[in-house]
Amino acid sequence: MPTFTHGKDARFKIADSNGAMQDISAMVNKVDLQRQADTAEVSAFGDKYKAYIPGLIDATISFEGMTDVTLSGYFDDLLGELTTWEFYPGGEDSGQIKYEGSGMVTSLEQAADIGGAITCSGELQVAGEVVRTLVP
C-alpha cells in the first residue's frame, strides 16, 4: 500500500553567498522541481511512426513565498550566481526523498499588494545532475 506525505512538511535549503546552507522553509510555501529530457527525432523515409533517441536532461526549481529582509538578502546576493540547494518534498524524517544539486538563480520577483503580505518568487536553473537520495 502506498505511503503518501503531506506537503506541509517540505523543506527547501539554499546556500547563501558565503556557501552556508540556509533553511528557508519558513518563508516559502511552494517549491517546484521540474525536470525534462530532450529528444532528437531520428525518423527516416519509410518509417510509419516517428523514432526518437534520448538527449540531455534539464531541470529548474521555482519557488514562491513570503519575503522578509533575510530572504530578500539571500536571493539579491545570489541572482546570477551559482549556488547549491537541497529539497525535501516530504520533510527531513528518515526515509524521505531528498533532492540536491547546484544551480544559478535566474529570476527573482517581489510583489506587494494592499490586501496581503509581500511575496517573492523566483527560479533556479539547475546546473548539472539532480541527485536523489533518501534521508538517513
Q: What is the pLDDT of residue 32?
A: 97
Q: Contacts for 54-58 with beta carbons within 8 Å, 24 or more apart?
A: 58/126
Instruction: List pLDDT tens digits, range 97-122.
Output: 999 999 999 999 999 999 999 999 99
Instruction: List pLDDT tens digits, range 8-57.
Output: 999 999 999 999 999 999 999 999 999 999 999 999 999 999 999 999 99
Q: What is the pLDDT of residue 55?
A: 96
Average pLDDT over residues 60-64: 96
Kindly tell me if the per-residue pLDDT of 3 is higher than 90. Answer: no
0.75 surpassed by pTM: yes
Phi, psi dihedral angles at 76 (to 5 degrees)? -60, -40
CA–CA gap between residue 3 and residue 130 (Å, rounded) = 23
Cell of 132: 536523489
The four Cα atoms 76, 78, 63, 96 give a dihedral, to 10 degrees, of -140
Q: What is the pLDDT of residue 2?
A: 81
Bridge-based pairing state of the strands 97-111 and 52-66: unpaired
Which domains occur in the chain, in start order? Answer: 7-134 (2.30.110.20)
Q: What is the pLDDT of residue 5?
A: 86
Alpha helices in the chain (DSSP H): 69-78
